């Protein structure tokens, strides 16, 4: 786990720098706002589901990730799907590849240029494992678009997480960036 987290962390730092190159984001933004202890690793286990051949059963309900960027390492079972142009597409497992998801914070930072991808995991009759590394800023970090006019208002990561938590409690789901539209 430690080796994977270190490799994912090194990779993600390179990726965010490349992706942010033309966004006008301050040169040291990620260094200044993303200390090692604000990112985390989630180990997912999806139990086998005997009903999954006749019914759609979620291992993970449709969601976007609450971070800048996620690095997902999955086994060969499959089940991850992503939403594109209103349709769900299966992500074919590739032992030679990692899955990189744009998260909500990168969408806000890029003023909607990069889209936080909606994804879900559908259960199958086989047990499945994945590991996801979530690259996040510290709670007090401010997230805002560096191009104007911004489509989302400026917010702190803490405020963003609190709003999501409140929405889940009040209406049963995360509303996400929509809440911060100007």
Ligand X SMILES: O=C(O)CCC(=O)C(=O)O
Options 39, 52, 81, 130; binder of ligand X; rule CB under 6 A: 130
Residue 129 bridge partners (DSSP)? 45
Q: Exposed, middle or buried by CB within 10 Å (0-12, 13-18, 19+), for 54?
A: exposed
Cα–Cα distance for residue pair 70/36, rounded to 1 Å: 14
Q: Which of residues 36-65 bind Fe ion (CB under 5 A)?
A: 65
Q: Which of 127, 121, 159, 168 is nearest to 141 (CA)?
A: 159
- As a whole number of angstroms, the distance between CA 113 and CA 123 comes to 32
What 3-state DSSP class applies to 131?
strand
Taking the complex as a whole, how short is the minimal distance between the CB of residue 157 and ligand X, in angstroms? Answer: 17
- Report whether 67 contacts 117 (CB < 8 A): no
Burial 12-21 (b: 16+ CB within 10 A, else e): beebbeebbe
Examine the residue annotation and report whether 128 is marked as an active-site residue of this protein: yes
**Nearest approach, Cβ of residue 114 and ligand X (Å):** 17
Segment 60 to 89, residues that bind Fe ion, using CB under 5 A: 65
87 in helix, strand or coil? Answer: strand
Residues counted in the chain? 182
Size of the site for Fe ion (CB under 5 A): 1
Nearest to ligand X of 65, 107 (CB atom): 65
Complex with ligand X: residue 16 or 25, whichever CB lies closer: 16
CB of 65 to Fe ion, least distance (A): 4
Q: 81 with 89: CB under 8 angstroms? A: yes
Smallest distance from Fe ion to CB 67, Å: 9
Q: Which residue lies nearer to ligand X by CB, 72 or 108? A: 72
Q: For the window 72-101, what string marks contact with ligand X as x by the rule CB under 6 A? A: x-x-----x---------------------
Query: Which listed residue (42, 90, 128, 179) is catalytic?
Result: 128
Q: Does 107 bind ligand X (CB under 6 A)?
A: no
Which residues bind to ligand X, rule: CB under 6 A?
Answer: 42, 44, 60, 65, 72, 74, 80, 119, 121, 130, 132
Residues serving a catalytic function are: 128
């Amino acid at each position: 786990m430690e080796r994977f987290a270190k490799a994912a962390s090194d990779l993600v730092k390179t990726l965010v720098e490349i992706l942010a190159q033309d966004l006008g984001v301050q040169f040291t933004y990620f260094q200044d706002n993303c200390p090692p202890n604000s990112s985390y690793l989630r180990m997912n286990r999806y139990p086998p589901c005997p009903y999954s051949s006749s019914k759609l059963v979620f291992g993970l309900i449709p969601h976007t990730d609450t971070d800048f960027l996620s690095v997902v390492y999955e086994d060969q079972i499959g089940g991850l799907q992503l939403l594109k142009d209103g349709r769900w597409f299966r992500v074919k497992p590739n032992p030679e590849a990692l899955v990189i998801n744009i998260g909500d914070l990168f969408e806000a930072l890029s003023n909607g240029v990069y889209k936080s991808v909606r994804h879900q995991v559908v259960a199958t009759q086989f047990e499945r494992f994945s590991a996801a590394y979530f690259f996040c800023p510290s709670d007090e970090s401010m997230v805002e678009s560096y191009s104007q006019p911004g489509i989302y208002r400026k917010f702190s990561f803490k405020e963003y997480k609190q709003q999501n938590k409140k929405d889940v409690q009040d209406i049963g789901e995360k509303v996400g960036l929509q809440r911060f539209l100007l």
